[in-house]
Structure 1
Amino acid sequence: MFRHQKELQFEVKVERPDPMLAKRVQEVLGGQFGEMTVMMQYLFQGFNCRGNEKYKDMLMDIGTEEIGHVEMLCALISQLLDGAAPEDQAEAAKDPQLAAIMGGVDPQHLLVSGLGGMPTNSNGVPWSGAYIVSSGNLLADMRSNLHAETQGRLQVARLYHMTTDEGVRATFRKMLARDRYHQYQWMAAVAELEEQNGVVVPASFPPEAEMEAQEHGLEFWNLSDGQESSEGLWATGSAPDGTGDFKYLENPEPLGNIPRPEIPATQVHHDLDRDYVNKK
């Protein structure tokens, strides 16, 4: 069960309204890598975790914390929108400088949410459940979590430099610190799972099960102009799981056939080259 506590995890108190910033903050609330995404991602991974209570408990801990982060951002957006009433916009329009500032208000903050946060990104696109990853494979999911926290912290850091409001920055610093810890956490989980099961997902399908395709699992195919890619460990090193050494193919040749699909029935109404059809 979940239980709401009235106090926020960290204090949210802005120095002055800033509707334009409120619109930008929507990205780290309801964007692809926003707090709504990591909240739902960790919770669904936790709900669906089977057989290892340690990982399930961790996922539920962090997923629940992210619910609190969503609430913090909603509080932040609301404070940034204070004073952004429609009549204030009309008054501000009389002054070109003020009009430029108030013109940055997201209309939906006035029309839809009544000066509050919304489950949308900074362009007003609704949050989507398609953003979350919950595969049931712990290593795959933990790597996805690390990616999500990496992108999310990057966006908060960019927002940090878009304002001089010390109150807003104080909130962002708390979020940056937590996102830094969460990256540490997912790194630790990934390292532990890799040590247990190997570095390739899924571990239940080992390289030897690939049969005649095994050699291709170690090849780097040079398929763009230049050969700078040959200088990386991905082309000259060894596989992390010890299955062999990488091989750089400077001029790889195709190993497959030329596809020759059957001509469909005329009722499908393809625009076909009749000469080609007759040759077939």
Structure 2
Amino acid sequence: MFRHTKLLQFEAKPEKPDPVYARKLQELIGGAFGEMSVTMQYLFQGWNCRMEGKYKDLIMDTATEEIGHVEMLATMVARLLEGAPATVTAEAVKDPVMAATIGGMDVQQAIVGGGGALPADSNGVPWNGRYVVASGNLLADFRANVAAEAQGRLQTARLYNMTDDPGVKAMLQFNLARDTVHQKQWLAAIEELKADGLESDVAPSALFDEENQDHNNTIWHLSDGPDGAKGGWSSGSEGLEYLMDPEALGGPGVAPPPDPALYGTSAPTGPGDDAHRDELVGEGAVETLFENGRWKNRLVGSSRAANAHDVKTDAVAQGREMAQKRKVEHVIRNRDGQIGQRRDYHRDSR
């Protein structure tokens, strides 16, 4: 149950109307990081929270506060639009100053909102529920909340410097303060989740043994910028390594031919091309495959496996080493036998 109180959380009275600034202020209402977004984000996070107690209560406290922030901003917008031209526009624009002012208005505020705020951003784009992050994982959600509050505070700070109206500034000073405390509270809640043993540094705290162990500690240098490796993240304290010359691990990213009924343009193919694709794997290449419950490496053309492993990543690593030593192709098959990745180390050595 929600109960409305006819008092604003903080005063929202401009010193004078300013329809151009009213349009700018719409970003804090219906923009991607506006108050409508965090309101709905926190409400759905609270409704989706599966634990009664301190975390759910914190989320719902903040969600309800954000409803009040939407009300404050909507009230401010309506007051900034007071006296904005409506039926006398043609006469008003004869004055160059008024013409420029009207030119910066959001006419939808007059036409659609009747001189009031809209559930839209500063360009009149309607607010979108896709802005909301409510995954059910509190660590992932709280991190999203920190980012949302940071972006919201950034936009509030920018808008603060776009007005000289003391009444508007006073309200934005309050909003800045609330964005500050909300960032602090979510950061503190993240640490408490970890202290309570509910989550760790990485979300979700699962499948660490299943993930590819060769690629869970490397940062790939894939831009021209040379200084990424100079950051503290590559010092070893976090177990991270900067891979300065990473290699592509997959084959060409070619999509299969489309369904003929879709009339997509593609290269002509002969009958049975897909069925005989494996024939392109050369004799003597190393292939990693799943067979009889284990991951194995064998040379193409041989019926015996060179080695076997319980974990795919171990088999892939040894298969790659075999292919590099032999300077042959390494083919990695999925469980269904289809080729998932391939790398030609003979070609790379030239």
Aligned residue identity for 1:45: Q
Q: Distance in 2 between matches of 1:89 and 1:221?
A: 58
**Against the structure 1 CA distance between its residues 265 and 40, is the aligned structure 2 distance closer, same or farther, given a 3 Å change threshold?**
closer
Q: Distance in 1 between matches of 2:247 and 2:44?
A: 44
The CA deviation string for residues 119-155 of structure 1, in whole angstroms up to 9 with x for no partner, is 0000111111111010000000100111110000110
Aligned residue identity for 2:263: H
The CA deviation string for residues 222-277 of structure 1, in whole angstroms up to 9 with x for no partner, is 111132111112323333xxxxx212211111122335554345333221233xx2
Q: Is the 8 A contact 1:42 1:62 kept in 2?
A: yes
Q: Is the 8 A contact 2:78 2:116 kept in 1?
A: yes
Q: What is the SS of the residue equivalent to 2:124?
A: coil
Tell me the residue number matched to 1:242.
Answer: none
**Against the structure 1 CA distance between its residues 248 and 101, is the aligned structure 2 distance closer, same or farther, given a 3 Å change threshold?**
same
Q: Is the 8 A contact 1:29 1:73 kept in 2?
A: yes
Tell me the residue number matched to 1:133.
Answer: 133
Taking only the aligned residue pairs, the percentage that are identical comes to: 51
Tell me the residue number matched to 1:2.
Answer: 2
**Against the structure 1 CA distance between its residues 111 and 207, is the aligned structure 2 distance closer, same or farther, given a 3 Å change threshold?**
same
Tell me the residue number matched to 2:167.
Answer: 167
Q: Which of structures 1 and 2 has the larger relative contact order (alpha carbons within 8 angstroms, sep 6+)?
A: 1
Q: Is the 8 A contact 1:227 1:250 kept in 2?
A: no
Spell out the pairing of 1:44-55 with structure 2 (5 A cutoff). Answer: 44-55=44-55
**Against the structure 1 CA distance between its residues 84 and 261, is the aligned structure 2 distance closer, same or farther, given a 3 Å change threshold?**
closer
Q: Distance in 2 between matches of 1:207 and 1:28?
A: 39
Q: CA deviation at 1:206?
A: 4.2
Q: Distance in 1 between matches of 2:259 and 2:176?
A: 59
- Unaligned residue ranges in structure 2 (runs of 5+): 274-350
Q: What is the SS of the residue equivalent to 1:4?
A: coil
Q: TM-score, normalised by structure 1?
A: 0.92
Q: Is the 8 A contact 1:35 1:70 kept in 2?
A: yes
Structure with greater helix share of residues: 1
The answer as to 2:241 corresponding to 1:247 is yes
The more displaced of 28-37 and 224-233 is: 224-233
Q: TM-score, normalised by structure 2?
A: 0.74
Aligned residue identity for 1:207: F
Structure with greater strand share of residues: 2
Aligned residue identity for 1:208: D
Query: Computing the radius of gyration over CA atoms, which structure comes out larger, 1 or 2?
Result: 2
Aligned length: 270
